[in-house]
């Protein structure tokens, strides 16, 4: 019995360490754009404040199933005389839980936006902060050497996430890098594992908006999100926005999930988004359901966009509500 418990401990600990190397996924990645790429904050000049928070519960019903929560709050310093460049600053906080492992991240974020041409903008951004690795050892065998070496809480400083975005009113392209400054779960307080390795990750995203008169917009977007050593996660997302009030869409991630999305604007810029993911792989027999909720004061629907005259060498406000 003791041997079985020891083997179980090794399997659980190993799986959790592998999952801990990955980054959380959100089906509504257009809503939580700053969580994937710090350069995506501040793309809209129609309102200075952008606050989004939400959570995701994966494989409902499974014990120790993955859970993620986040909050992204940022402010755009809108230029008064020229739209040649502008700045955005804020904070991004998230928690990702998988089994006995919990990751807490706290970042200060900054993005600089530069007008490249009449209708095209490039932004460069960074998340800079720290990670906390938490390990619950209650269900693990304390005689396991890897468990015995592990601390219950480790702070890793610094954690730097750079990113870049190129965009206009109809198109965007994203690129960001994760886990490039902290390569092991080791820091203030000790280490997790021997210590376990944090593999660098990359995020690549792109999207295109199609406009149908004043009442409808169709956004087709996709992303590739993975570590440099694993098979990438590829996601395709199609969203239809109506009257700047209501949106619905579908998303497919690899051959594992088929997702539905509903979003609606309540008042002014208060937006609520709901997503449901259905597992279509082997887990569909055990725990096929995943839910996601996001709420934010956000220019997601492109409301209240403003237009600025070309006079006095000022370009049209390059507002993009992706």
- Flag whether 321 is in a domain: no
Give the H/E segment covering residue 34: helix 33-36
With a CB cutoff of 8 Å and minimum separation 6, the contacts of 159 are 105, 107, 127, 128, 129, 130, 131, 181, 182
Task: Please report, for the domain that includes residue 47, its CATH number.
Answer: 2.40.160.40
pLDDT value of position 308: 39
CB 137 within 8 A of CB 147: yes
- Flag whether 90 is in a domain: yes
pLDDT at position 36 over 90: yes
Question: What's the pTM value of the predicted model, to 2 decimals?
Answer: 0.85
- Flag whether 304 is in a domain: yes
- Flag whether 320 is in a domain: no
- Tell me the β-bridge partners of 191: 186
- Give the chain's domain count: 1
SS (H, E, C) 225-253: EEECCCCCEEEEEEEEEECCCEEEEEEEE
Tell me how far apart the terminal alpha carbons of the chain are, to the nearest angstrom. 55
Residue-wise pLDDT tens digits, 174-214: 999 998 987 777 778 777 776 677 889 999 999 999 998 87
Q: Which residue has the tokens 């210590």?
A: 195
The span from the CA of 31 to the CA of 54, in Å, is 10
pLDDT value of position 261: 97
Which among 39, 41, 112, 113 is positioned nearest to 71, based on CA atoms?
A: 41
- Flag whether 299 is in a domain: yes
Residue-wise pLDDT tens digits, 143-160: 676 676 677 788 888 999
pLDDT at position 236 over 90: yes
Question: Could you tell me the CA-to-CA distances from 293 to 62, 239, 253 in Å, in that order?
Answer: 19, 16, 18
- Tell me the β-bridge partners of 278: 258, 289
- Flag whether 129 is in a domain: yes
Q: What sign does the CA torsion over 147, 151, 152, 155 have?
A: negative
Rounded to an integer, the average pLDDT of 19-43 is 87
- Flag whether 173 is in a domain: yes
Q: Which domain holds residue 291?
A: 2-313
Give Cα 48 to chain centroid, integer Å: 21
CB 305 within 8 A of CB 316: no
Report the percentage of the chain scoring pLDDT > 90.
53
- Flag whether 318 is in a domain: no
> Which segments of 58-198 does DSSP mark as H helices, in order?
145-149
With a CB cutoff of 8 Å and minimum separation 6, the contacts of 114 are 84, 85, 121, 122, 123, 124
Taking all residues of the chain, what is their mean pLDDT, rounded to a whole number? 84
């Amino acid at each position: 019995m003791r041997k079985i418990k020891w083997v179980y401990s090794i399997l659980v600990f190993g799986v959790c360490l592998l999952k801990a190397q990955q980054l959380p996924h959100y089906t509504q990645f257009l809503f939580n754009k700053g969580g994937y790429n710090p350069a995506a904050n501040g793309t809209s000049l129609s309102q200075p404040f952008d606050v989004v928070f939400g959570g995701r519960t994966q494989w409902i019903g499974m014990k120790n199933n993955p859970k993620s929560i986040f909050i992204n709050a940022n402010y755009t310093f809108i230029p008064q005389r020229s739209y040649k460049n502008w700045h955005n600053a804020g904070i991004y906080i998230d928690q990702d839980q998988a089994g006995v492992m919990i990751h807490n991240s706290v970042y200060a974020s900054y993005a600089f936006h530069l007008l490249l041409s009449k209708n095209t903008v490039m932004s460069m951004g960074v998340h800079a902060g720290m990670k906390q690795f938490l390990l619950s050892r209650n269900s693990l065998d304390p005689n396991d050497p890897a468990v015995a070496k592990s601390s219950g809480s480790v702070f890793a400083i610094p954690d730097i996430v750079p990113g870049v975005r190129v965009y206009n009113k109809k198109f965007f392209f994203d690129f960001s890098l994760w886990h490039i400054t902290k390569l092991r779960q080791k820091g203030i307080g000790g280490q997790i594992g021997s210590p376990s390795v944090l593999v660098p990750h990359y995020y690549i995203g792109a999207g295109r908006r199609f406009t149908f008169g004043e009442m409808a917009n169709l956004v087709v977007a996709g992303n590739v999100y993975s570590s440099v050593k694993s098979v990438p996660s590829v996601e395709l997302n199609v969203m239809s926005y109506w009257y700047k009030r209501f949106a619905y869409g579908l998303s497919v991630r690899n051959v594992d999930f088929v997702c539905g999305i509903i979003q609606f604007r309540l008042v002014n810029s208060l937006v609520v988004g709901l997503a449901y993911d259905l597992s279509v792989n082997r887990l569909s027999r055990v725990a096929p359901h995943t839910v996601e909720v996001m709420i934010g004061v956000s220019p997601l629907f492109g409301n209240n966009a403003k237009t600025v005259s070309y006079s006095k060498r000022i370009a049209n406000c390059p507002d993009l509500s992706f």
